[in-house]
Structure 1
Amino acid sequence: MKKKLALILILTALSVFLAGCSEFQQPIYEDSEGFWNKFVVWPLVSLITTFKDILGTYGYGIVAVTIIIRLVLLPLMIKQTKSSKRMQEIQPELKALKEKYKSKDAVTQQKYREEMQKIMSERKINPAAGCLPVLIQMPILFGFYHAISRMNVTYDIGNFLWFELAAPSITLAVLAGAMQFIVLRTGPAMDNPQMKVMMYIMPFMIMIFGSFLPAALSLYWVIGNIISIIQNIFIYKPFKKKEVELVKVGGKRK
């Protein structure tokens, strides 16, 4: 889990770093050269522009394309969250197993790995399944990120409500960070001590990045996080779990 957290943070930081490079701040056109431009960035720009023509503004176009992309990625995201949920459910067993085979000698550790693999096989859990969807999503999300950044150079993307999309918006940045906190609070982080670190780091990072990047990117984060919250509510049922915990606490007090 720590490796997965480190991977997510590294990729996020890398995305923001590359967004500041001059190569990614160049205008984007239909005849822009390069595989990335032709087959990733420009198609996304075209899609946003198409929805802008239909809905009236680039802001609504960005919202529409964000929803479409997240719906396309939804099966992968559901697979990822379900994998995380199953791993979370077997943590007490793995903790007990680790305590049972706490000796560091090679024979004991080999037995520990065999028992752990047996538990995962019986529950049909693949540890890599939780990381693979993240890696598959990154090129698409990274492309959308740069499509918005480079549209800001090529077009006058206007406003969304009262927010100027080409300029940073602290309000949208804070909202995006708050929504990210809710995403993590309603997901696996609420019961996983290791992921609780991410629950505080990721929203803070988004608030910082959103404070100096175009508001269009904060808008993308806000819409994407709303979809993630809805997804978490259906998969993790956090509110139902809190009700069960309150009943247990009430029972103990009696």
Structure 2
Amino acid sequence: MELLANALSLILQPCYDLTGNWWVSILLFTVIVKVILMPLALWCQKNAIVMVELMPDLNRLKIKYFGDSETIGEKQNELYKEKHYHPMLSLIPLAIQVIILFGLVDVIHGITDGGAPGTEFLGMVPVEDGGAS
């Protein structure tokens, strides 16, 4: 995770140098990551459109081979290969975003632990009394 945090800090630090504010730099970092992940998101959207187009064919298969789940599975896989549909593709952007989030948490901890100005409220955890620790 530290390697990822170092890579993400190479993006976040220039954002801070540009804005001079950690809050705005994190917002700018988020926009940059979304722009970088846009092609992957579009690929997943196209895959979802293919699935919508396949639904009538899949329903016909389920009716035609009712009760024979093995044949239905085989025919579904053939149809997926024919139409270039990838059922697990939608998980890829989610996994990438989770990994980036974990790396960003390490970067923010590094910033707040260093006592950088303007980070007084970053990384603070509320206590039982309702105050900030």
TM-score (norm 2): 0.71
**Once the 2 structures are TM-superposed, how far is the Cα of residue 57 of structure 1 from its aligned partner?**
0.9
Is 1:63 the counterpart of 2:27 in the alignment?
Answer: yes
Residue by residue over 1:67-115, the C-alpha shift from the partner in whole angstroms, topping out at 9 and shown as x without a partner, is: 2222222222222222223223322332332233221xxxx32321232
Q: Where in structure 2 are the equivalents of 1:44-83 lying within 5 Å?
A: 44-83=8-47
Residue by residue over 1:186-234, the C-alpha shift from the partner in whole angstroms, topping out at 9 and shown as x without a partner, is: xxxxxxxxxxxxxxxxxxxxxxxxxxxxxxxxxxxxxxxxxxxxxxxxx
Aligned partners of 2:108 and 2:122 also within 8 Å: no
Q: Where in structure 2 are the equivalents of 1:151-230 lying within 5 Å?
A: 151-156=111-116, 158=118, 165-166=121-122
Which residue among 43, 55, 67 is the counterpart of 2:7? Answer: 43
Aligned partners of 2:80 and 2:86 also within 8 Å: yes
Q: Which has the higher contact order (CA 8 A, sep 6+)?
A: 2
**Once the 2 structures are TM-superposed, how far is the Cα of residue 151 of structure 1 from its aligned partner?**
2.5
Aligned partners of 1:45 and 1:151 also within 8 Å: no
Structure with more helix by fraction: 1
* Matched positions, count: 124
User: What RMSD in Å do the two structures reach over aligned CA positions?
Assistant: 2.7
- Cα distance change, pair 79–49 in 1 and its aligned pair in 2 (3 A): same
Corresponding residue SS for 1:128: coil
Determine which structure has more spread, i.e. the larger CA radius of gyration.
2
**Once the 2 structures are TM-superposed, how far is the Cα of residue 150 of structure 1 from its aligned partner?**
4.1
Structure 1 segments (4+ residues) deviating >4 Å: none
For 2:64, give the aligned amino acid. Answer: K
- Cα distance change, pair 54–111 in 1 and its aligned pair in 2 (3 A): same
TM-score (norm 1): 0.41
- Cα distance change, pair 102–96 in 1 and its aligned pair in 2 (3 A): same
**Partners in 2 of 1:131 and 1:58 — Cα distance?**
30
Q: Where in structure 2 are the equivalents of 1:136-151 lying within 5 Å?
A: 136-151=96-111
Q: Which runs of 5 or more structure 1 residues have no equivalent in the other structure? A: 1-35, 169-254
**Once the 2 structures are TM-superposed, how far is the Cα of residue 149 of structure 1 from its aligned partner?**
4.2
Aligned to 2:73: 113
**Partners in 2 of 1:75 and 1:62 — Cα distance?**
21
- Cα distance change, pair 135–46 in 1 and its aligned pair in 2 (3 A): closer
Residue by residue over 1:105-140, the C-alpha shift from the partner in whole angstroms, topping out at 9 and shown as x without a partner, is: xxx323212321232223211223233343344323
Aligned to 1:96: 60
**Once the 2 structures are TM-superposed, how far is the Cα of residue 165 of structure 1 from its aligned partner?**
4.7
Aligned partners of 1:80 and 1:129 also within 8 Å: yes
**Partners in 2 of 1:40 and 1:109 — Cα distance?**
43
